[in-house]
Amino acid sequence: MAPLLLQTLAGLHINSKEFISSIMMKMIPPQNQAVSEIAKETGLSEANLHKWRK
């Protein structure tokens, strides 16, 4: 959780391509992290994460 918070605090805007890309990388192999888990870590809604995945 800390690295993501550091990225956010470092100035990455939630809608920036870099931020979204870092989240998307967590959803695909080899990490395959659950959307619900990412939502808890980031404070983003699951619906938003599902929308980004499409």
Q: What is the mean pLDDT of each successive set of 10 residues along the chain, which is 54 residues long?
A: 48 73 91 93 89 84
Q: From CA 35, how far away is CA 46, in angstroms rounded?
A: 6
Given this model, what pLDDT does residue 1 score?
44
The domain spans of the chain are 2-53
- Which residue is associated with the tokens 């990225």? 7
CA-CA distances (angstroms) from residue 52 to 10, 18, 42, 47?
22, 13, 14, 9
Q: From CA 37, how far away is CA 41, in angstroms rounded?
A: 6
Given this model, what pLDDT does residue 20 score?
86
Given this model, what pLDDT does residue 54 score?
80
- pTM score, whole prediction: 0.69
Please, are residues 52 and 20 in contact by the beta-carbon 8 Å criterion?
yes
Given this model, what pLDDT does residue 37 score?
94
